[in-house]
Amino acid sequence: MRMSYREAVRAALHEALVADPRVFLMGEDVGRYGGSYAVSKGFYDEFGPERIRDAPLSELGFVGAGVGAALGGLRPVVEVMTVNFSLLALDQIVNMAAVYRHMSGGQFSVPVVIRMATGAGRQLGAQHSHSLENWYAHVPGLRVVAPATVADARGMLPAALAEPDPVVIFEHVGLYNVEEEVGDWACDLTHAAVRRPGSDVSIVTYGGSLPKALAAAATLASGGIDAEVLDLRVLRPLDREAIAASVRRTHRVVVVDEGWKTGSLAGEVVAGLAEECLYDLDAAPRRVCSAEVPIPYAKHLEDAALPSVDGIVAAVREVCGA
């Protein structure tokens, strides 16, 4: 059936709330307001204030309460409005949720799911538009995922709720209105996925950059370059085998990442390839990332700061010597 990314997240949440009384949604304005991205509209009336828990503006407090509630036997889905706001809760995610199992000698699991919006493109300026997924992907103990398709938006939440450990889900703000046909959405939180097979070059990407990569691949096809598009899906742990396998087929790679290039996930992907299959590469890798600047408000400047279809096309042509 055809549905939007927003409807897919909503359907996944609804199903989980119906199926498991331990599941509850907590966050700022998830209840009466209906969710800042309208994902949980109507849930407050349907499930009540204990299952759809409006939290005060205290990210550290309510994310930490989610960690504690998970330790106490519940299955919290904690919604943080944007990744920028999640920095207020970083202590509870990085110093508590991620380390709790190992630091306690394996005595505890922390099955908390933390969802947050990420990314730019809506002219929201430098405090609502960043892509800090790699900050979380850096941390052992977390599983970090980025649904880039409507099917993954539908499937990743139940898979995350089935996990015994903390899962951070990044939903790109530019994807909520995307509509796609969704068939079998069941998925794992382990593997990358080839979204477009190709033989000449691998475009490795994730999240909100996937539609741009696919559009670039379509443009390149008309110019005679057959690009493979690999969607990482899971940012930690990375599916390094799938990345290497794609590059061994195509021998060329461009990595597209809305994060800043310095210290980026794209850098990690390229470094991994250098370690694992340097001699399979016929050309130096390229990274297409955001400009090293706080994301500005003005539309033309925001566009200039972000990875673009044209920029991806140009980078691919360069590595292909075309």
Partner 1 sequence: MTDPVPDAALGVRLLTDMLRVRRMEEKCAELYGATKIRGFLHLYIGEEACAAGVLPTLTEADNVVATYREHGHALLRGIPLRAIMAEMFGKASGCARGRGGSMHLFDASRRFYGGTAIVGSGLPLAVGLALADRTLRRPAVTACFFGDGAMAEGAFHESANLAALWQLPVLFVCENNLYAMGTALARHQSQTELTAKAASYNMPVWSADGMDVLAVHAAASEAVASVRDEGGPAFLELRTYRFRAHSMFDPDLYREPAEVETWKQRDPIPGLAARLRAAGALDDARLAALDAAADAEVADAVAFAEASDWEPVADLLTDVVTPASGAGTGGAR
Q: Which of 7, 128, 258, 302 is catalytic?
A: 128
Q: Does 11 bind partner 1 (CB under 8 A)?
A: no
Q: Which of 59, 79, 228, 302 is catalytic?
A: 59
**Contact stretch for partner 1 (CB under 8 A) within 30-38, 102-110, 260-268, 301-309:** 102-110
Q: Indicate if 292 belongs to the active site.
A: no
What are the structure tokens assigned to 97, written together?
């949720």
Cα 165 to chain centroid distance, Å, stands at: 17
Q: Does 150 bind partner 1 (CB under 8 A)?
A: no
Distances (CA, A) of 90 to 80, 93, 237: 11, 5, 19
Q: Indicate if 59 belongs to the active site.
A: yes
* C-alpha to C-alpha distance for 160 and 278, rounded to whole angstroms: 34
Decide: 141 and 168 in contact? Cβ < 8 Å: no
Q: Does 183 bind partner 1 (CB under 8 A)?
A: no
CB of 280 to partner 1, least distance (A): 27
Q: Which C-beta is closer to partner 1: that of 12 or that of 225? A: 12
Q: Does 181 bind partner 1 (CB under 8 A)?
A: no
Q: Does 262 bind partner 1 (CB under 8 A)?
A: no
CB of 109 to partner 1, least distance (A): 5
- Beta bridge pairs of residue 27: 54, 79
Q: Does 104 bind partner 1 (CB under 8 A)?
A: yes
Q: Does 12 bind partner 1 (CB under 8 A)?
A: yes
Q: Does 237 bind partner 1 (CB under 8 A)?
A: yes
* C-alpha to C-alpha distance for 264 and 287, rounded to whole angstroms: 10
Q: Does 58 bind partner 1 (CB under 8 A)?
A: yes
* Opening angle at CA 257, ends 254 and 259, nearest 5: 145
Q: Does 232 bind partner 1 (CB under 8 A)?
A: no
CB of 57 to partner 1, least distance (A): 9
Of the candidates 154, 193, 188, 184, the residue with the CA atom closest to the CA atom of residue 171: 154
**Contact stretch for partner 1 (CB under 8 A) within 162-170, 283-291, 292-300, 305-313:** 162-170
Number of residues located near partner 1, criterion CB under 8 A: 61
Q: Does 145 bind partner 1 (CB under 8 A)?
A: no
Residue type, 284: A
Q: Which string of x and - marks every residue 15-34 that binds partner 1 (by CB under 8 A)?
A: -x--x--x-x----------
Q: Does 165 bind partner 1 (CB under 8 A)?
A: yes
Active-site positions?
59, 128
Question: Using CB under 8 A as the criterion, which residues of the chain lie in contact with partner 1 when the complex forms?
Answer: 12, 16, 19, 22, 24, 50, 55-56, 58, 60-74, 76, 91-92, 95-96, 100-109, 140-141, 143, 154-159, 161-165, 184-190, 237
